[in-house]
Chains A and B, each alone.
Chain A
Amino acid sequence: MSSHSPESPIQRIGGALLLLVVLLALLVAGVISFPREKRDLPRPSTAVAPQGPRGGALHAGPSTDSVRVATAGRPGEYRETAQAVSEGQQLFHAYNCSGCHSDGGGGMGAILMDRRWYYGHEPGQIFDTIVQGRQNGMPSFAGRIPAYQVWELVAYVRSLSGLVSPDAASGRDDHMEVAPPPNSLRMRAPLLVRPLPPNDSASVKGTTAPGGATRRETAAAKGAP
């Protein structure tokens, strides 16, 4: 016969399949892996390493006016980009925000993944909350976090409740998954509720009534003062 190939087409396909199977096996065995690239951020200068000296205490609750002016934010620095959100996500853990707010589900601190905003959902308002602190326990980070990092935190915090485009929001976390990834959340309109005065402490932080609605929510919905 005229053409005599050393390998039939079936043999060639078989060879390719074999290669694929070997590659898959290697992948499963963990010999070949595709780890997420880890980029080290500059360590926040305020986060004192355990070996180092004790830093000064944060001020629990709202800061004084003199401290407030120490960190002035410029809204022009704010970006809702994937990079800003992703860096904010790492800073959220580095500055121990996650210790109180978990991965947005709250705990010692307020829930960040729902629609309720006691102190405002606009980037500038969240910036103020981080820098100034709030009366019911949010400490003031004034002078502790560079303004550009505060803005990155703001972007990540907003992404937790779907206020940032899913294209920019994070799809996964660097640790054991405990909460749905922010980019899976649908964008929803924020629900504005008024913070209670500090003395009405019996029901701060959204005490849930049997019906499921908080007192503040109810008051806001009714337009109460």
Chain B
Amino acid sequence: MAAKNWQNTRFSELNQITPANAGRLRLAWTFSTGVKKGQEAAPIVVGNTMYVVTPYPNILYALDLTKAGTPGVLKWKYVPPTVPAAQGVACCDVVNRGAVYADGRVIINTLDGQTIAVDAASGRELWKNRVANIHTGETITMAPFVVRDKVFVGNSGGELGVRGWIKALAVSSGRLLWTAYSTGPDSAVKIGPRFRAFYPSEKGKDLGVHTWPPGQWEIGGGNVWGWVSYDPDLNLIYHGTGNPGVWNPDLRPGDNKWTCGVFARDPDTGEARWFYQWSPHDLFDHDGVNENVVVDLPLGRSVRKVLLSAQRDGYLYVLDRASGQVLSATPFVRVTAYKGVDLKSGRIQPNEAKETHTGVVVRDIAPASPGGKDWQPTAWSPRTRLLYIPHQTLSMDYEGTDANYIEGTPYVGADVKMYPDPVRPGDGSRGAFTAWDPVHAKPVWEIKERFPVWSGTVVTAGDVAFYGTMDGWFKAVDARTGRVLWRHKTDSGIIGQPVTYLGPDGKQYVAVLAGVGGWSGAIVSGPIDPRDRGAALGFVNAMTDLPKATPAGDKLYVFALP
């Protein structure tokens, strides 16, 4: 799976590549996918086959690793039948975040709302289920996640007033087993007798209706477009929910449950067991969908079962994963938007001076809409006990505007201009790769980057971490010190998820897709004119120099020691 394991640690036991020899890494082979859009997917390796799914039109390639680097590498190719109009309702480039393998099948989501299983050996289509409807603005970009016999899928569309959900389908047949919505009555959210929220503000009947203006929950967002993790001991899946429908907060007074939070659910029934809301009544498009990494951590005198989550709002949360209690919340970037998280009530404290309203331009809101960190997943090493965070350092100006809901069109109500954070770092850099110690709640080292670090990362038992930059450098760094051990310039900016695997020849390989795009790179991969600084929901203002730094790309790179 894209996240490497149920815990979402993205830690690999492979240890052939070390700080001592990483400087000798060489390009082993490449493969061109033919789709020059944002490549956010993780290649996955099962046995001697690698599976790569492209951005829309979501072509799935099976590559024979015994023939890597030869013309015979392509084992098969599956092109799903899709509707091109899906591109017109995808908010932030036409990305796909990866496939999942289960029980002899490779399962992918398509931008136009289908979940499809193909036979891993032959590429033959086994089943498909259209779970989302593009005509209401729904798309799917997230990587499906499998626990035993179920595959979990969630929708995108938070910028189009789409009501969020997560669905469980049968791995064997694709049949829909349950659906849990992020807004609406308790029955639809699957909140029942087994639900135990830790904080009082999450307790009450039908909060998914009553914390909204009448009817607004129907178009209220809370999309499940990020990562799912799983703790087999507690038998709970964890998934975040996205921003509330319509960005402009004046149009939706209330806490807007159950958006911008994290659910713990029973994977078998979908029942919610607890919920914690990172940002009640979100003011800044600070979605809550970032990965929740399942880790056991020594805190005080005991070892706690926790979730580690570097969220959009700029805080690194340590949550008790059995109860949903916040154990600590520490800013990992400069934060002006909030004053802190009150550990007694669990509530984040917005900074009144930065509250967004209709017709008011508020300046220097940090972190900006994409947050301290967006979708790009972190990695946890049990050896160094550090969380590796690829992220951005952006601030923004924001003005709320009127918004009309028209189904299938954007529903935002905000004008945004982002820019490099003017104070920290304050040197024009827009991203960083940070190693974070969650026990002492502080960074251990940090590498600043010119552009947002929009790639994922992987860390290995050889104590090497890998990540890529939007100007096309793929880097190996010493996981303990942050020293850059090696770097390679690729054809295009990297926003994909690096992986490492053992090849058929017993050698450790490192693979990553290079192809800039996504929300941050839409100025290169999408139809965007940089004269309009508000394009791509205001991201363009921060990225006008990206087109000079990189063209679009479509290539898989694989590296190894000689």
* Bound-state Cα–Cα, A109 to B536, Å: 10
In the bound complex, residues from chain B placing their C-beta under 8 Å from that of A48 are 404-407
In the bound complex, residues from chain B placing their C-beta under 8 Å from that of A114 are 529
Q: Which residue of B lies closest to A59 (CB)?
A: B135
> Is B200 an interface position by the 8 A CB rule?
no
* Bound-state Cα–Cα, A190 to B196, Å: 62
Q: Which residue from A60, A94, A106, A201 sits with its C-beta under 8 Å from B527?
A: A106
B534 touches A179 (CB 8 A): yes
> Is A149 an interface position by the 8 A CB rule?
no
Q: Which residue from A60, A100, A198, A204 sits with its C-beta under 8 Å from B410?
A: A100
> Is A52 an interface position by the 8 A CB rule?
yes
> Is A138 an interface position by the 8 A CB rule?
yes
* Bound-state Cα–Cα, A102 to B408, Å: 16
B515-546 near A? 1/0 per residue, CB < 8 Å: 00000001011111111111111101100000
A107 touches B417 (CB 8 A): no
> Is B268 an interface position by the 8 A CB rule?
no
- On whether A107 and B551 interact (CB within 8 A), knowing A60-B134, A60-B408, the answer reads no
* B 87-107 contacts with A by CB, 8 A: 87-91
> Is A54 an interface position by the 8 A CB rule?
yes
A57 touches B530 (CB 8 A): no
Q: Which residue of A lies closest to B88 (CB)?
A: A137
In the bound complex, residues from chain A placing their C-beta under 8 Å from that of B327 are none
In the bound complex, residues from chain A placing their C-beta under 8 Å from that of B532 are 102-106, 113, 178-179
A51-72 near B? 1/0 per residue, CB < 8 Å: 1111111111100000000000
Chain B residues touching A, majority SS: loop
Q: Which residue from A108, A198, A199 sits with its C-beta under 8 Å from B91?
A: A108
Nearest CB in chain A: distance from B158 CB, A: 12
> Is A194 an interface position by the 8 A CB rule?
no
Nearest CB in chain B: distance from A224 CB, A: 20
Most chain B beta carbons < 10 A, residue from A98, A102, A113, A180: A102
- On whether A178 and B534 interact (CB within 8 A), knowing A49-B405, A50-B405, the answer reads yes
Instruction: Select the stretch in A20-28, A164-172, A206-214 that faces chain B.
Output: A206-214
Interface size class of B (residues with CB under 8 A): 35 or more
Q: Which residue of B lies closest to A179 (CB)?
A: B532
> Is B159 an interface position by the 8 A CB rule?
yes
- On whether A102 and B85 interact (CB within 8 A), knowing A50-B405, A108-B90, A209-B551, the answer reads no
> Is B56 an interface position by the 8 A CB rule?
yes
In the bound complex, residues from chain A placing their C-beta under 8 Å from that of B552 are 207-208, 210
B392-420 near A? 1/0 per residue, CB < 8 Å: 00000101011111111111100101000
- On whether A175 and B87 interact (CB within 8 A), knowing A50-B219, A100-B410, the answer reads no
B21-39 near A? 1/0 per residue, CB < 8 Å: 0000000000000111100
In the bound complex, residues from chain A placing their C-beta under 8 Å from that of B536 are 102, 107
* Bound-state Cα–Cα, A44 to B218, Å: 21
* Bound-state Cα–Cα, A44 to B88, Å: 22
* Bound-state Cα–Cα, A93 to B524, Å: 25
* Bound-state Cα–Cα, A93 to B25, Å: 52
Nearest CB in chain B: distance from A50 CB, A: 5
> Is B3 an interface position by the 8 A CB rule?
no
Nearest CB in chain A: distance from B178 CB, A: 24
> Is B136 an interface position by the 8 A CB rule?
yes
* Bound-state Cα–Cα, A61 to B260, Å: 31
Chain B contact residues, CB within 8 Å of chain A: 34-37, 56-57, 82-91, 133-136, 159-160, 213-216, 218-219, 246, 251-252, 361, 397, 399, 401-412, 415, 417, 522, 524-538, 540-541, 547, 551-552
29 contacts between A and B (CB under 8 A): A48-B406, A49-B405, A50-B405, A51-B214, A52-B215, A53-B215, A54-B407, A57-B407, A58-B409, A60-B408, A96-B403, A96-B411, A99-B160, A103-B534, A106-B535, A109-B527, A135-B85, A136-B84, A144-B406, A176-B397, A176-B399, A178-B538, A201-B84, A203-B36, A204-B87, A205-B526, A207-B552, A208-B547, A208-B551
